[in-house]
Each structure stands twice: as structure tokens, then as C-alpha cells.
Structure 1
Amino acid sequence: MSKARIQACGIGLRAQHIDQILAEKPAIPWLEILTDNHLIAGSVQQEYVIEIAEYYPLTFHGVGMSLGSVDPLNRDYFQKIKALADRINPAWISDHLCWSSVQGLVTHDLLPLPYNEETLQHLANRILQAQDLLERPLMIENVSSYLQYQHSELNEWEFLSALTDLADCKLLLDVNNIYVNAYNHDFDAFEYLQAIPVARVQEIHLAGYEDRGTHLLDTHGYPVSDQVWQLYEAALQRFGAVPTLIEWDNHVPPLERLLAEAAHAKQVQDHVLS
């Protein structure tokens, strides 16, 4: 499998579009797979993604590492990711800055963490362990959240900056999550962007949220909002031509609509960076 350069604006690979992509092979700069959906050796889902990798550059994006948990890392899970990565050779592997399991019970949610020194050390050690198991670098993503911990000593962007330095890892910066959290927790999203180290940002995510009135819910079920597009412009001004991905997981539209959203992201890139 080739490991072509990831650039411009890609889309998340969704089951609804696989047959069409394989049949038509549209011009897509790159695809991000939801790693957890393709880990069973010999499964239809894995064979599909192996075939997709013959035609498109891929990245792996997971939800199951539970890096913030106190449970031991699931070595079987990491072995499956590594086996697929060894076969496909993705450009990079990412997961979330969160916890999602406790005492072996998986919550199927990406739960936030307290931002303090103890969590910093714990997460940095876990990221280093994960990279050893994968024998590859690991990129982490900031998550959306709907509560804050009284034990936090740092704000989110201070914590992210410190963690990427401590673990010496890259950051998948989700601009939609920044906007959602800024609304939910009443901080300045643009101040957040300005505090993130430029050299650490390797990818940007864009998605749509749902406005619940009292809070924004990160549903990945709608087009990118005007407010997030504005924040994306500011992110490009700070971080440059970072590869960008459109996430759309609920109410998944036709492939053409998803590609149009990615094309708009490319237009914004070209306008800001020209």
C-alpha cells in the first residue's frame, strides 16, 4: 500500500459511500477511516478498506483508545490497529483526548478530563505507551464537552499545549469542537487558537453541530456553520495549509454533498492562503 502525501481537504469514509467510491473513483485528495469499524481480520469492512487503500491515501481515526482512563491500555485492541496499519500504511493514526471506559466497561462516549498536572502526566505516559504499542506516532484530538471539572487548574488550550510538549505528539485540531466548547463554557474561541503551538497542528477537523438553545451539541449531522467557517479562516491564518477533513456521521448526505463541503473548505483555504 502506498503512503501518499496528505494535503488539501478530504472526507471521512462512510459505509454509505464505499460502493460508489469504488465504482466511480471520484477525485478525493484523501480519506479518513473510523478505525474501529475495520479491525476484524477477514471481515467485509476490512476488505473494503484494504481495497479503498489501493486508490486513495488514508488516515486512521479511532474512538476506542480511552487514553484518559485508568484502565490498562487494551493491548489486543492496539495489536489489531497495528496489524491493519502495517498492511495499509496510513499517513497517521489519531484518537481523542478523553476517557471512554472504566473497569472494562465501555461508555461509547468521549468523556472530558480535568485539566491539571496529574492528568497531564497520566495522559503523556499513556500516549507514549500507545505509540510504543503501535510502533508509530499518535496524534490526539481535542473533544467537545458539556461540563467542566472543579479540579481543573488549566484552561483547555493551556492543557493541550503542555500535553503536546510533554508527550512530544502532534495535534488533530477540531475547529468545530473549539467553537462548541467556547459556546458551552463561555470562552473566546479565537484566543484558544492563538495559544495553540503552530508546529504541533497536523490536521484540522470540520463538522456541523446542533443548537439546543442552552448548549451546542457536537452531532456531526449538519453542514459546517458560518461561525465555524469564520473560525477555520482564523485557524488557517495561524497554522497555514493544514490538511483538513470534513466529518459527517449522522444524517449522512449523498457523496456529492459531502464532496461539495470539502470543496468549499478548499476554496476557503485558497482564499485565505493566496
Structure 2
Amino acid sequence: MSETVTRTSVMPPAGPMPARAGVGLKARHYATIVGEHPDVGFFEVHAENYMGAGGPPHAWLAAMRERYPLSVHGVGMNIGGEGALDTAHLARLRGVVERYEPALVSEHLAWSGHGGAYFNDLLPLPYTGETLARVIDHVDQVQCTLGRRVLIENPSTYVCFGGDEMDEVTFLSELARHSGCGLLLDVNNVAVSATNHDHDPAAYIDAFPTGPVDEIHLAGHALGHDDTGAPFAIDSHDRRVADTVWALYERTLLRSGPVPTLIEWDGDVPEWPVLLDEARRADTRLTDAPREATS
């Protein structure tokens, strides 16, 4: 592939994302995907990996975009931070979105920077009215800058705030209602947070507003026990989707109907056939899902 790339004239226009299973795009799989054109619904990339001006990553991604829909998933917007959004970062995100016209753009309900320092993590927010107003303003700024709706993902969390004024589902429901954003329901995150906080993940799924959900994430997680013997889970993205998460996913689809679904695998990335097999397992469930949402 060429080491520089410009917007290709044969790149198809963005359209609705198919209600199929997609896979997170990894550099080690570029050549296999371009050479074999596997039957997957879409590919998702982290926006920050494509914020440079050129180079091989853009050349490969342009080749993917000619054949597949894309979802662009941001990890560094600091959407929940107390300070103003980084307008330079937002401009770089806009450049990626304008270059590739992805079907979906998403970010995390989290904060990752403060006072000019950036932390390489997605940190939890207190669910208060003050936080909600700030996140609504930030989401509005992102959507106005991009000229499109964005999706906000429910987080995986390891601590809770004693001063919470609402639960996470209510917070996300109000965010979508007031900002007009969509939601990205990460079912694995639901399972991880429920384990860490001793909550019922099925009750979370049953309460979640499925109307604004335009994408679902599935991933693997690691389990362990703390010094007191209490169970904990880590959102590790380094293994196959757990049976408990598949069950929650099936429960979700009964309410939502088919929704574009991503297989996330970011650590200990396997050979391509393993990822393709996970995507096919999701596709089977999407095929069996009711065609219309029930709630």
C-alpha cells in the first residue's frame, strides 16, 4: 500500500449501518481483510489512531472504506471532564469524520484529563445534575462541530460516588433526551460494572432506553477476587465474549431488535479467523432477533 493517501473518488457515500456484526480493525489483519474481503457487517476504528495526515494506516483504512461501512470510536475526547473540551482534538476528530464519512461516531461517558494533564484511562463520573448539564453541553459542542449525531457509551466502572443523585441508566436517558445524542450500549461493560458493584445486570438491560441505541459492543472480560474474597471484573478486551454476556445480549435484542454490534478485542489480539467466528456468533443472534423493538 502507498504510504500517503487522499480521499478516494470511489469511496461510497455514508449510509445507514447494517444491523450486522462488525469487528474492531487491527493492523495485523489489514492484509488479510483486503485480500479476502470477509463477510462482516462493518469495521470500527479508534479515531485517535487515524488523526495523522497520512501514512500506511490511512492507505489501508481507505481501502477498507471502499468496501465496508465504518464506525469511528473516540477514546480521548474527555467528554465528562470539568474543563472545556480540547478544540484541537475535536478538530482532528472532525478531520477523520470528514475524510471517511463513517456511518457511526461514538465516544465514552468518562473523563480522561484535568488541568492540562491527560490520563490514559476512561475514568468514572459522579451522576449528578451538575455533571449531566456539563456533559450535555460537551456533547452539544461535539455534535455541532461534526454536524452529526454522536453516540455515547455506558462505561465499565470500578468505583461509585457516594454523592450520586441518579443511577447510570437515568443519567444516560436524560443525556440522550436533552442533547439528542444516540447511545452505544456496551453489554460487556454492563456485566463488568454489575460484578464490581453487586448489581443485577439483567435489571440494567431491562431499564436501558433502547430507542436511542444505534450500536452495541461485545467483548471479553477477566474475573478475579479481591483481598476480601469479593468478585471483581476487568474490562480487558482480551478474550472471547463470555456466556453471561451473550445471554445479556440476547436479552437486549428481545427489546431492541437487531442493532449493529461490534466485537471488541484489543489485547492479546488473535488470528483473524477467531474474530470472524465471534462476529458470526453475533450475526446468528441478530438473525434470530425480533425485527421490531418491543420497548
The correspondence for 1:188, drawn from 189, 200, 216, is 200
**Equivalence for 1:237:** 254
Matches within 5 A, 1:37-186: 37-186=49-198
C-alpha displacement of 1:270: 2.3
Contact 1:75 1:133 in 2 (8 A): no
Structure 1's consecutive aligned runs of 4 or more residues displaced over 6 angstroms after TM superposition are none
1:5 aligns with 2:22: no
Q: How many residues align?
A: 274
TM-score by length of 1: 0.97
TM-score by length of 2: 0.90
Contact 1:59 1:90 in 2 (8 A): yes
CA shift digits 1:164-188 (9 cap, x unpaired): 1121110000000001111111111
CA shift digits 1:68-121 (9 cap, x unpaired): 112221111111221221121100210100000111211110001001111111
> Gaps (5+ residues) in structure 2?
1-10, 226-230
SS at match of 1:273: coil
C-alpha displacement of 1:5: 3.2
Distance 1:271 1:241 in 2: 9
Distance 2:178 2:142 in 1: 14
C-alpha displacement of 1:46: 2.1
**Equivalence for 2:35:** 23
Contact 1:208 1:222 in 2 (8 A): yes
C-alpha displacement of 1:67: 0.4
Distance 2:54 2:287 in 1: 41
> Gaps (5+ residues) in structure 1?
none
Alignment root-mean-square deviation, CA: 1.2
C-alpha displacement of 1:233: 0.6
Distance 1:224 1:180 in 2: 12
% of aligned pairs identical? 40
CA shift digits 1:144-172 (9 cap, x unpaired): 01000111111111111111112111000
Distance 2:82 2:126 in 1: 13
Contact 2:149 2:180 in 1 (8 A): no
